[in-house]
Amino acid sequence: MSLNVIIMAAGKGTRMKSAKPKVLQPLAGKSLLAHVLTTAKKLGSQKNIIIYGFEGQQVKDAFAHEKIDWVEQAEQLGTGHAVMMTLPVLPTDGKSLILSGDVPLIGAETLAKLASSDSPFAMLTMNTPTPFGLGRIIRKDGKVIAIVEEKDATDAQKQITEINSGVYCVANEILHKYLKNLNNNNAQGEYYLTDIVKMAVDDGITIDTVSPQYQFEIEGVNDRIQLANLERTWQAHQAENLMKQGVHIMDPARFDLRGELTVGKDVQIDINVIFEGECEIGNNVKIGAGCVIKNTKIASGTVIAPYSIFENAIVGENNQIGPFARLRPNAVTADEVHIGNFVELKNTQMASGAKANHLAYLGDSTVGSRTNVGAGTITANYDGVNKFKTTIGADVRIGSNAVLVAPVTIGNKATIGAGSVITKDCAENKLVVARGKQVTIDGWIRPEKDKS
């Protein structure tokens, strides 16, 4: 049976106190709505319908690259009204998963369970000791007969601990049949989606309920405190998954993964490390405290000292990087490379055994095998308009504080004197010195202060 996904994302999220709509607030580096959509797409849905409203253009712009059926809900008159807006684009056969854009961590497995229910109306519920504020599931002889919102509940109903998560899988036929009959005669004056439960039951439909694997899957975000709490819950969960895969995380409470991380064996991660985007870490890699690693691969045996920053870099085997190293996009190191403190690489390839141990900038360059780049050396790769390439051969020794003015090529085994400003290509095997000569000025007298 064909499956559609409907995501309710029209709410403002007043309690966020933000100019951004709530569903665009980030959790683990990605917007709440992006989490929901990513998960929904795993189910192979035919249509992904998003109901937008408050600051809708911002929401649409954020997902401009996705194939989505956008449906506007100009006025937010309730969840039932929201889903009603989809009817013109909703097929009459098949099923729809109804999700909330502010319940970001719903799991694909849980949704698959819900979608595979034999009932034309399945919903995700859970027993919780803290049901306050949520819709309660009313059962009779064990069967669901209605949902009552907290604000409409009697004292007895408020004692019920089974709550509505706001996630459903419903036959489209049911949505087409009952949504138009909703009214807003309730404490909040809203059209409640939850009221169709009773209508369906009255027509003899049996409601199926499914529980999520984890409580965080159904947790909604309404303010920044809940957002921060859910972030920590999610990070703890991710850290736990990595530890189960054999990663040694020094303190799971000080670990952040904002994306995907693939790991080898015996990886060690010290405190306050942040991974972003897609990262891959090989066997026996050690990562020091405070590193920020984005879209980067680090091969086996490499040791990263504290406070090193990586973005779109590829690090080879058995490297020593940092502390305080910065590898910018397209920094690529082969094996046994050393990059020391305050060394910045950008679009630079370091061949096997090459070293830049202190205070250097290498941009748009290639560095040959075993070459040593002295402290304070930089490539002057930019004339303010254009960028130029520096090619440094193998077994080169570049003295401290050299400036390599690109475009320039340094031959294999060349030696560059300290403090040189290199503007022309340097031949293989030669010593090149390009700096003012040291002179001693005879007869010079240092000025003295007049003591009289």
Q: How far is the CB of 168 from ligand UD1 (least distance, A)?
A: 10
Residue 5 binds ligand UD1 (CB under 6 A): no
**DSSP of 163-185, one letter per residue?**
EEEEEEEEEHHHHHHHGGG----
* DSSP E strand boundaries for 368-430: 372-373, 378-380, 390-392, 397-398, 403-405, 408-410, 415-416, 421-422
Q: Which is nearer to Ca ion, 220 or 252 (CB)?
A: 220
With beta carbons less than 8 A apart as the criterion, state whether 289 and 308 touch. no
Residue 164 binds ligand UD1 (CB under 6 A): yes
Residue 149 binds ligand UD1 (CB under 6 A): yes
Among 76, 157, 283, 352, binds ligand UD1 (CB under 6 A): 76
Does residue 358 have an active-site annotation?
A: yes
With beta carbons less than 8 A apart as the criterion, state whether 75 and 170 touch. no
With beta carbons less than 8 A apart as the criterion, state whether 394 and 415 touch. no
Residue 82 binds ligand UD1 (CB under 6 A): yes
Q: Are strands 136-140 and 143-148 parallel, antiparallel or unpaired?
A: antiparallel
Q: Which is nearer to ligand UD1, 164 or 420 (CB)?
A: 164
Residues that bind Ca ion (CB under 5 A): 220
Give the CB-side neighbour count of residue 206, counting CA atoms within 13 A. Answer: 7
Tokens 């049996």 correspond to: 206
CB under 6 A: which stretch of 159-167, 276-284, 321-329, 436-444 binds ligand UD1? Answer: 159-167
Among 5, 9, 242, 378, binds ligand UD1 (CB under 6 A): 9
Q: Which is nearer to Ca ion, 229 or 320 (CB)?
A: 229
Q: Which is nearer to ligand UD1, 79 or 349 (CB)?
A: 79
With beta carbons less than 8 A apart as the criterion, state whether 405 and 422 touch. yes
Q: Which of 65, 237, 248, 358 is catalytic?
A: 358
Among 49, 147, 339, 406, binds ligand UD1 (CB under 6 A): 147
Contacts to ligand UD1 from residues 303-332, by CB under 6 A:
none
Provide the residue type at 350 as one letter. M
Specify the long-range contacts of residues 375-378, CB closer than 8 Å, at least 24 apart: 375/400, 375/401, 376/400, 376/401, 376/402, 377/401, 377/402, 377/403, 377/404, 378/402, 378/403, 378/404
Residue in 221, 205, 178, 200 with CA at minimum distance from that of residue 80:
178
Residue in 136, 84, 147, 119 with CA at minimum distance from that of residue 204:
119
350 binds, among ligand UD1, Ca ion, none (CB under 5 to 8 A by kind): none
Contacts to ligand UD1 from residues 36-55, by CB under 6 A:
51, 53
Residue 162 binds ligand UD1 (CB under 6 A): no
Residue 242 binds ligand UD1 (CB under 6 A): no
Residue 166 binds ligand UD1 (CB under 6 A): yes
Residue in 303, 309, 341 with CA at minimum distance from that of residue 322:
341
With beta carbons less than 8 A apart as the criterion, state whether 366 and 347 touch. no
Q: How far is the CB of 31 from ligand UD1 (least distance, A)?
A: 13
Q: How far apart are CA 419 and CA 445, in angstroms?
A: 27
Specify the long-range contacts of residues 226-234, CB closer than 8 Å, at least 24 apart: 227/16, 227/25, 227/27, 230/27, 230/104, 230/105, 231/27, 231/28, 234/27, 234/28, 234/105
Q: How far is the CB of 218 from ligand UD1 (least distance, A)?
A: 7
Residue 295 binds ligand UD1 (CB under 6 A): no
Q: Which is nearer to ligand UD1, 233 or 320 (CB)?
A: 233
73 binds, among ligand UD1, Ca ion, none (CB under 5 to 8 A by kind): ligand UD1
Question: Could you give the string, one character per residue 202-241, with x where binding to ligand UD1 holds by CB under 6 A and - elsewhere?
Answer: ------------------x---------------------
CB under 6 A: which stretch of 71-79, 265-273, 310-318, 391-399 binds ligand UD1? Answer: 71-79
Q: How far is the CB of 376 from ligand UD1 (least distance, A)?
A: 55
Residue 165 binds ligand UD1 (CB under 6 A): yes
Q: Which residues are catalytic?
A: 358
Contact residues toward ligand UD1 (CB under 6 A) are: 8-11, 51, 53, 73, 76-79, 81-82, 100-102, 134-135, 147, 149, 163-166, 192-194, 220
